[in-house]
Amino acid sequence: MRFLLTIITVVSLLFVSPAFSAWHLDDSKSSLTFVSIKKGSIAENHRFKTFSAELNKKGFLSVDIDLGSVDTRIPIRDSRMSEFLFETTKFSQANFTAQININELDNIAVGTSKRLSVSGNIDLHGQKQAIVIDVLVAKLANNSMLVTTVQPVIIKAKDFALVAGINKLQALAKLPSIAYTVPVSFVLTFQK
């Protein structure tokens, strides 16, 4: 009987050990930002206040962005972007999914980092696009890692049916131009 209890205990410890746990986003130590360019040369930083991410024990990564949480630091612009660009009544979230080689992450030593290319899919405004994102993964501790973009991810409005929304924003703000291409960057802190 004691032998059976020992085996059950060992097996249960294997399944709750950090190597088999999911990674969850620590949103207090994470950011998701993008830059818009108006009038040909005026760049402005923006962010999403609400987003979540999880990397499960099989290596499936899912990042969900609440598009209504866009924060440009100008409330009327936030409202217009939600209504006319993202159309959050129809498309409340954007999503990125990918399959990650979990062994590659587990093999990064604490205190070191590794550059990885992540192939995945973006689902935004009812459109899906395959994309490759170059990231730097730094293992902060056995149960903590930091993932950052090596270079911004370029999002093209035409790929996600966002051109009409940008044109509407341009007309409402009486601007001569708003760029149709937007660089997106992130710093994500994951905890086990």
- Residue type at 110 in one-letter notation: V
Instruction: Encode 25-62: b = buried (16+ Cβ within 10 Å), e = exposed.
Output: beeeebebbbebbbeeeeeeebbbeebebebeeeeebe
- Residue type at 73 in one-letter notation: R
- State the pLDDT at residue 97: 98
Please check whether residue 7 lies inside any domain of the structure: no
Per-residue pLDDT of the chain (192 residues; tens, 9 = 90+): 444 333 444 444 434 444 457 999 999 999 999 999 999 999 999 999 999 999 999 999 999 999 999 999 999 999 999 999 999 999 999 999 999 999 999 999 999 999 999 999 999 999 999 999 999 999 999 999 999 999 999 999 999 999 999 999 999 999 999 999 999 999 999 999
Measured distance between the N- and C-terminal CA atoms of the chain, rounded to whole angstroms = 33
Which residue range(s) make up the domain with 28? 21-191
Please check whether residue 14 lies inside any domain of the structure: no
- In the chain, the number of structural domains is 1
Please check whether residue 51 lies inside any domain of the structure: yes
Q: What CA–CA distances, in Å, run from 114 to 52, 60, 104, 118, 138?
A: 23, 19, 9, 12, 7
- State the pLDDT at residue 4: 39
- State the pLDDT at residue 21: 76
Tokens 């708003």 belong to which residue?
A: 178
Burial class (CB in 10 A: 0-12, 13-18, 19+), 122: buried
Asked if residue 149 lies in contact with residue 30, where contact means CB atoms within 8 angstroms, the answer is no
Report the candidate in 19, 12, 10 with the shortest Cα–Cα distance to residue 142. Answer: 19
Please check whether residue 11 lies inside any domain of the structure: no
Q: Rounded CA gap, 168 and 185, in Å? A: 25
The H or E element containing residue 64 is strand 60-66
DSSP 8-state code for residue 178: B
Please check whether residue 8 lies inside any domain of the structure: no
- State the pLDDT at residue 125: 98
Please check whether residue 77 lies inside any domain of the structure: yes
Please check whether residue 108 lies inside any domain of the structure: yes
Please check whether residue 13 lies inside any domain of the structure: no
CATH assignment of the domain containing 159: 2.40.128.110
- State the pLDDT at residue 11: 40
